[in-house]
């Protein structure tokens, strides 16, 4: 007998001895008076055996047929390998017109050794934070390096923007690695579609926060931070990953579901994947997003022109103008052209804006300055961090493999010096 059936024995005995009424017994067992009377009749005929469920040992009326079970098993092994029970049940209904419960799929997967049950861990308690009330007030952003295309291409990064008020997937963008360029491109796509958000919630990555100020200049703002400040967007750093749990959970969801979607749709390149993400983020939002408390939209209109946005979403560096109206940047000397003598510009600072496609713009007091370039010197690689090092090494190897028979002169240092002097 089950524990539930054992508990019925004492109640039915008290009922038989008239210590309880049928109504009181029904309340204790959470049954109607009619059910209590039926149980009493079975107890009078069969004794305690009559309290055992009549369904025990019988096949469930909702059990799927053996033929359907074999078909589901075959699809799970051949087409939906690696899928979890929930996603597999959804795809069976969506792509194969097989309506079957998640639990049934899970039991089939366990019996076929496709799925292993996981022991439940004691969850750490984190204080819940109430969502923001309006869309666009706070956007949680994060990068997720992962094997998104499995073994079909090298590991890459997915930049994820989640609205705090609704959990809506605002922007998804694939890139080779988690870089300033990836976040700037994603933000530019975001503001062109929705407008300017009020604040961003990020981790303490060096893209967002300078952990040690420049000892020479004392500046403590990153390129991405400078761009957001220009647009009037505040960056708020989270102390722990759990603090920005919505975007962290979104990453887990995407690493499970998006990988399988890309496989099913036979998408193998970043370019194809980014086109697909436009419709996929809407599918996810329709499924998982919630309604904001307020119907008011907190986004602001973009005030800058396209040309100004091109400059904002570029790398900015300050250089000091020489007496010859020259500056040096990235192993190239730029000579500023002015109609006047340019005496007032000497020893002043000018901003060098380098777009991610290599275009250079010189800004002096907010004005674009014409220039000429000359005397290109030997290029040296910039310092790399852990997230961009592998990509840089891959580029070096590709360049070397493209010209395997390249032979430099033995006096390459003197050759380089002579080229600079010319």
pLDDT of amino acid 159: 96
The model's pLDDT over 213-258, given as tens digits with 9 standing for 90+, comes to 666 666 778 999 999 999 999 999 988 878 888 899 999 999 999 9
pLDDT of amino acid 375: 62
Tell me: do 272 and 142 sit in the same domain: yes
Tell me: do 283 and 395 sit in the same domain: no
pLDDT of amino acid 415: 45
pLDDT of amino acid 15: 82
Q: Is residue 117 part of a domain?
A: no
Tell me: do 171 and 251 sit in the same domain: yes
Predicted confidence band of residue 183 (pLDDT cuts 50, 70, 90): very high
Q: Is residue 132 part of a domain?
A: no
Tell me: do 412 and 328 sit in the same domain: no
- 39 vs 140, more confident: 140
Tell me: do 235 and 350 sit in the same domain: no
Q: Is residue 379 part of a domain?
A: no
The model's pLDDT over 318-359, given as tens digits with 9 standing for 90+, comes to 999 999 899 999 888 999 998 887 788 899 999 999 999 989
Tell me: do 158 and 246 sit in the same domain: yes
Q: Is residue 118 part of a domain?
A: no
Looking at the 3D structure of the chain, how many domains does it have? 5
Range of the domain at 15: 3-51
The model's pLDDT over 299-314, given as tens digits with 9 standing for 90+, comes to 999 999 999 999 999 9
Predicted confidence band of residue 62 (pLDDT cuts 50, 70, 90): confident
C-alpha to C-alpha distance for 135 and 257, rounded to whole angstroms: 25
H/E element holding 144?
Answer: strand 138-146
pLDDT of amino acid 214: 64
Q: Is residue 367 part of a domain?
A: yes
Q: Is residue 307 part of a domain?
A: no
The model's pLDDT over 17-61, given as tens digits with 9 standing for 90+, comes to 888 888 888 888 888 989 888 888 888 888 877 777 777 777 777
The model's pLDDT over 143-162, given as tens digits with 9 standing for 90+, comes to 999 999 998 999 999 999 99
Tell me: do 40 and 73 sit in the same domain: no
Tell me: do 361 and 395 sit in the same domain: no
Q: Looking at the predicted structure, is the pLDDT value of residue 418 above 50?
A: no
pLDDT of amino acid 122: 59
Q: Looking at the predicted structure, is the pLDDT value of residue 96 above 80?
A: yes
C-alpha to C-alpha distance for 84 and 1, rounded to whole angstroms: 34
Domain limit, last residue, from 246, 271, 288: 288
Closest CA to 334 of 346, 345, 324, 326: 326
Average pLDDT over residues 383-395: 70
Among 56-60, 274-278, 361-365, the range scoring the smallest mean pLDDT is 56-60
Q: Is residue 119 part of a domain?
A: no
User: What's the mean per-residue pLDDT of the chain?
Assistant: 85
pLDDT of amino acid 422: 43
Tell me: do 234 and 363 sit in the same domain: no
- For the entire predicted model, the pTM comes to 0.70
Tell me: do 86 and 195 sit in the same domain: no
Tell me: do 164 and 256 sit in the same domain: yes
Q: Looking at the predicted structure, is the pLDDT value of residue 376 above 60?
A: no
Average pLDDT over residues 359-385: 77
Q: Is residue 60 part of a domain?
A: no
Tell me: do 202 and 246 sit in the same domain: yes
**Coil vs helix vs strand at 344:** helix
């Amino acid at each position: 007998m089950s524990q539930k059936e054992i508990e019925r024995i004492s109640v039915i005995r008290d009922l038989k001895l008239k210590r309880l009424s049928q109504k009181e017994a029904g309340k204790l067992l959470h049954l109607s008076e009619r059910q209590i009377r039926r149980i009493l009749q079975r107890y009078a005929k069969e004794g305690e055996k009559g309290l055992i469920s009549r369904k025990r040992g019988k096949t469930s009326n909702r059990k799927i047929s053996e033929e359907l079970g074999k078909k589901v098993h075959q699809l799970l092994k051949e087409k939906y390998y690696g899928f979890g029970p929930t996603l597999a049940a959804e795809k069976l209904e969506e792509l194969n017109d097989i309506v079957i419960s998640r639990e049934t799929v899970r039991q089939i997967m366990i019996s076929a050794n496709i799925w292993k049950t996981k022991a439940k861990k004691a969850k750490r308690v984190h204080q819940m934070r109430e969502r923001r009330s309006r869309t666009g007030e706070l956007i949680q952003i994060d990068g997720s390096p992962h094997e998104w295309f499995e073994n079909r291409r090298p590991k890459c990064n997915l930049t994820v923007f989640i609205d705090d008020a609704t959990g809506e997937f605002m922007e998804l963008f694939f890139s080779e690695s988690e870089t300033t360029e990836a976040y700037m491109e994603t933000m530019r796509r975001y503001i062109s579609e929705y407008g300017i958000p009020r604040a961003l919630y990020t981790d303490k990555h060096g893209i967002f926060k300078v952990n040690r100020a420049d000892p020479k200049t004392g500046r403590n703002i990153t390129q991405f931070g400078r761009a957001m400040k220009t647009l009037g967007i505040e960056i708020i750093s989270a102390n722990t990953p759990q603090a920005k749990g919505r975007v962290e959970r979104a990453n887990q969801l995407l690493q499970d579901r998006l990988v399988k979607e890309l496989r099913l749709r036979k998408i193998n390149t970043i370019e194809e994947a980014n086109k697909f993400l436009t419709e996929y983020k809407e599918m996810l939002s329709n499924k998982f997003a919630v309604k904001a408390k307020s119907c008011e939209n907190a986004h602001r209109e973009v005030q800058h022109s396209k040309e100004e946005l091109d400059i904002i979403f570029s790398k900015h560096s300050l250089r000091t103008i020489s007496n010859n109206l020259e500056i040096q940047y990235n192993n190239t000397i730029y000579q500023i052209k002015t109609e006047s003598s340019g005496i007032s510009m000497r020893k002043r600072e000018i901003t060098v804006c380098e777009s991610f496609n290599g275009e250079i713009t010189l800004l002096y007091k907010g004005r674009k300055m014409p220039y000429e370039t000359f005397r290109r010197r030997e290029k040296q690689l910039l310092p790399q961090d852990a997230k961009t090092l592998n990509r840089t090494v891959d580029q070096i190897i590709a360049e070397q493999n493209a010209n395997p028979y390249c032979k430099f002169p033995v006096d390459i240092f003197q050759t380089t010096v002579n080229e600079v002097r010319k």
